[in-house]
């Protein structure tokens, strides 16, 4: 019996190799990695990513049932690990989540690498393989823990570096889903200015914040010009329930240490005598007072106020608060200084410089100045529709192709000096062709354009919808808390992955827009606003679908990318090299000139 048992054991698939617990542990580990992949892909992965992840998980389970010796089993695990790791890396190249979602991605990478090390170790012997398996697991767990600690204690941004935030917002619309509020303004703000193109933002806009904390209160913050460029003014429009904190102005960027004495000083005045409350508090929940708060009365003349206090807690995210919600008269504040009493060292951290592009929306929610609804007899009007490319994200209003087209058309009016051209830019970020058609139905009969210009891009489908939170630069997730006027924030490469079927749907929408334009005596012109090569994303699918589909339809078609890219390197045509892939002012100028040439050549105007 003993010799037979020995003989049986020697012929067993696992004889002389890694122990069953090690084998089981390795397979469970691989299945865990596949599960973690799935959790990531549910949020950001493509269908192919998810499919491969499911196949890896299923194959890992089958290895429990297939009779293989341990070396072959671990080699199979290694192959699955390579496939799954490659699948995950391809996903990361398209979309990398911010912390803490990124920690899940890091866990998968370390886990796969550790598993591959353990699998290779099996070739060197049972003990070495088992030891490497345990060591790799401990090492991967430790590295993930270190990443987590660094992520918690270290600085991190939840948006792409160099693209700081977007200020502004859209409003709900019963037909269009969303639109820009009439007579509103917005900004995109960048951390760097590599081309020297952006405006330098007023540093007060990052230091001072105004909040209305009650629906019955409304106020606005004005940055006044002065000798020292430091005066801010708060005008209170409404205070239905007079309460101090319902209108709250804050001065951010303070760092305090418990027990240390500080001196704060500032100058203030009001349009009329009024109560005035101020103090020092946390700039985050639970918003605790940090050692000073008082209410005084201020008058119409500038007066300096200076107080000494001892910080009750250590906090690197502190602020001064000015509570103004209990009265209507406007308040002006300047020359805020906070320093340690003993050393005289300032505790105010100066925010980094910001660079911005501003946007103004007219009474119809279109970018630019107001135009009379009633078109003058001597005016030829062009209505521009599209998404963020047409709107001109990252481009000053004067440099959008709409503004440059208007200047180009009005430049030479020698043949018809009585004629004047108006170009109205109604591009809306995140809009699909379906929404652009709906917008034309609404705004077309009001503006009565002679020509409708439709800008099409490679994300031109109804699935690209906006969300509360980025702007176009990476996939949105619950860890982002930045304002965004431009809808969905996601990686340009990720959002460009659209199947050709979307463009066939877009083609049908374009043909419907042609019919709508004809009903208001307008001519539709469509063009591909392409500052990128055809092999970047589905641009070729767009061109190959829309261009043939419009032949014989009566809709002139233009691909501005052909001429534009023959004269420029595509990387010189984008707004910001570190993530904002929108066309810049150079691309907009070329688009304006090519559209003007098309309109003249085909005698559309």
Higher-pLDDT residue of 106, 578:
578
- How many angstroms separate the CA atoms of 49 and 40, rounded? 10
pLDDT at 475: 29
Residue 479 pLDDT exceeds 60: no
Around 198, how many Cα atoms within 13 Å sit in the side-chain half-sphere? Answer: 24
Q: Which of 173-182, 277-286, 479-488, 499-508 has the lowest mean pLDDT?
A: 479-488
Mean of pLDDT values over 374-391 = 94
pLDDT at 461: 38
Count CB atoms within 10 A of the CB of residue 370. 13
Residue 23 pLDDT exceeds 50: yes
Q: Which residues, listed in sequence order, are joined to residue 337 by a DSSP beta bridge?
A: 265
Higher-pLDDT residue of 451, 89:
451
Residue 512 pLDDT exceeds 90: yes
pLDDT at 405: 97
Tokens 């549910």 -> residue? 42
Residue 262 pLDDT exceeds 60: yes
pLDDT at 8: 39
pLDDT in tens, 102-143: 566 666 666 666 666 666 666 666 676 667 667 666 766 766
Angle (CA) 285 288 290, round 5°: 135
pLDDT in tens, 154-190: 543 333 444 556 666 677 888 998 888 888 888 888 8
Confidence of residue 558 (pLDDT cuts 50, 70, 90): very high
Residue 494 pLDDT exceeds 70: no
pLDDT in tens, 176-232: 988 888 888 888 888 888 888 998 867 677 788 888 888 888 888 888 876 556 799
pLDDT at 570: 85
Q: Which of 9-18, 404-413, 555-564 has the lowest mean pLDDT?
A: 9-18
% the chain with pLDDT above 90: 39
- How many angstroms separate the CA atoms of 99 and 105, rounded? 10
Radius of gyration, alpha carbons of the chain? 31
Instruction: Give residues with Cβ within 8 angstroms of 473, minimum separation 6.
Output: 159, 160, 163, 489, 490, 491, 492, 579, 580
- How many angstroms separate the CA atoms of 474 and 274, rounded? 47
**Cβ distance 337 to 266 under 8 Å?**
yes
- How many angstroms separate the CA atoms of 539 and 570, rounded? 14
Residue 304 pLDDT exceeds 80: yes
Q: DSSP of 161-199, one letter per residue?
A: TTEEEEE---EEETTTEEEPPTT-EEEEEES--TTS-SE
Q: Which of 40-54, 91-105, 121-135, 505-519 has the lowest mean pLDDT?
A: 91-105
Higher-pLDDT residue of 201, 338:
338
Higher-pLDDT residue of 277, 217:
277
pLDDT at 469: 29
Confidence of residue 349 (pLDDT cuts 50, 70, 90): confident
554 burial type by CB count under 10 A (0-12 exposed, 13-18 middle, 19+ buried): exposed
Angle (CA) 180 442 545, round 5°: 90
pLDDT in tens, 354-370: 788 989 999 999 999 99
Q: Which of 52-56, 230-234, 423-427, 510-514 has the lowest mean pLDDT?
A: 52-56
pLDDT at 166: 66
Ramachandran area for residue 150 (φ above 0: left; ψ -120 to 50: alpha; else beta): alpha
Q: Which of 109-113, 320-324, 576-580 has the lowest mean pLDDT?
A: 109-113
Higher-pLDDT residue of 496, 204:
204
pLDDT in tens, 466-477: 322 233 333 232
Question: What pTM did the predictor assign?
Answer: 0.58
Tokens 């001109």 -> residue? 392
Mean of pLDDT values over 52-61 = 69
Mean of pLDDT values over 476-488 = 29
Residue 297 pLDDT exceeds 50: yes
Q: Which of 393, 360, 456 is nearest to 583 (CA)?
A: 393
pLDDT at 5: 40
pLDDT at 155: 42
Mean pLDDT of the chain: 78
pLDDT at 581: 84
pLDDT at 232: 92
Q: Which of 443, 361, 424, 384 is nearest to 182 (CA)?
A: 361
pLDDT at 83: 74
Residue 443 pLDDT exceeds 60: yes
% the chain with pLDDT above 70: 65
Residue 327 pLDDT exceeds 90: yes
Most confident of 72-86, 187-201, 268-282, 569-583: 268-282
pLDDT at 184: 85
pLDDT at 350: 73
């Amino acid at each position: 019996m003993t010799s037979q048992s020995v003989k049986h054991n020697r012929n067993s698939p696992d004889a002389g190799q890694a122990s069953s617990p090690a084998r089981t542990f390795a397979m469970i580990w691989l299945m865990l990695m596949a599960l973690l992949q799935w959790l990531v892909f549910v949020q950001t992965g493509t269908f192919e990513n998810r499919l491969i992840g499911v196949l890896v998980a299923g194959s890992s389970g089958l290895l429990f049932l297939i009779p293989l010796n341990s070396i072959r089993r671990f080699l199979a695990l290694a192959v699955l690990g390579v496939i799954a790791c490659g699948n995950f890396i391809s996903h990361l190249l398209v979309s990398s989540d911010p912390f803490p979602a990124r920690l899940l991605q890091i866990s998968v990478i370390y886990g796969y690498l550790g598993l591959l090390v353990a699998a290779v170790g099996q070739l060197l012997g049972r003990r070495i393989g088992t030891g490497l398996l345990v060591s790799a697991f401990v090492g991967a767990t430790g590295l993930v823990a270190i990443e987590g600690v660094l992520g918690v204690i270290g600085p991190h941004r939840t948006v792409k570096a160099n693209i700081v935030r977007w200020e502004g917002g859209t409003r709900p619309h019963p037909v269009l889903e969303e639109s820009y509020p009439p007579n509103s303004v917005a900004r995109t703000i960048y951390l760097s200015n590599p081309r020297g193109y952006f405006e330098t933002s007023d540093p007060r806009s990052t230091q001072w914040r105004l909040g209305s904390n009650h629906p019955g209160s409304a106020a606005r913050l004005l940055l006044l010009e002065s000798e020292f460029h430091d005066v801010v003014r708060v005008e209170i429009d409404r205070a239905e329930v007079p309460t101090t904190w319902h209108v709250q102005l804050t001065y951010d960027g303070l760092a305090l240490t418990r027990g240390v004495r500080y001196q704060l000083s500032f100058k203030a005045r009001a349009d009329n005598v009024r109560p005035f409350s101020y103090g020092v508090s946390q700039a985050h929940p639970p918003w605790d007072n940090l050692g000073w708060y008082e209410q005084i009365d201020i008058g119409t003349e500038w007066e300096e106020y200076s107080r000494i206090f001892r910080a009750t807690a250590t906090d690197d995210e502190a602020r001064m608060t000015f509570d103004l919600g209990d009265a209507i008269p406007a308040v002006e504040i300047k020359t805020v200084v906070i320093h340690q009493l003993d050393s005289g060292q300032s505790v105010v951290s100066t925010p980094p410089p910001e660079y911005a592009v501003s946007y103004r929306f007219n009474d119809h929610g279109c970018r630019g100045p107001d135009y009379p609804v009633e078109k003058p007899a001597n005016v030829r009007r062009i209505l521009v529709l599209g998404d963020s490319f047409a709107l001109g994200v990252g481009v000053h209003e004067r440099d959008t192709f709409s503004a440059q087209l208007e200047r180009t058309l009005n430049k030479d009016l020698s043949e018809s000096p009585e004629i004047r051209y108006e170009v109205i830019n109604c591009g809306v970020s995140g809009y699909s062709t379906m929404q652009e058609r709906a917008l034309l139905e609404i705004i077309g009969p009001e503006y009565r354009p002679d020509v409708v210009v439709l800008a099409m891009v490679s994300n031109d489908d109804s699935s690209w919808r906006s969300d509360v939170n980025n702007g176009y630069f990476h996939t949105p997730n619950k860890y982002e808390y930045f304002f965004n006027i431009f809808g969905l924030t996601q990686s340009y490469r990720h959002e460009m992955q659209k199947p050709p079927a979307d463009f066939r749907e877009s083609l049908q929408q374009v043909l419907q827009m042609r019919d709508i334009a004809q009903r208001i005596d307008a001519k539709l012109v469509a063009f591909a606003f392409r500052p990128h090569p055809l092999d970047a994303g589905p641009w070729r699918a767009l061109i190959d679908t829309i261009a043939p589909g419009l032949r014989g339809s009566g809709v002139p078609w233009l691909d501005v990318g052909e001429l534009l890219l023959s004269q420029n390197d595509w990387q010189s045509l984008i707004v910001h090299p570190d993530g904002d892939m929108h066309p810049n002012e150079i691309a907009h100028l070329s688009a304006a000139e090519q559209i003007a040439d098309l309109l003249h050549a085909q005698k559309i105007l």
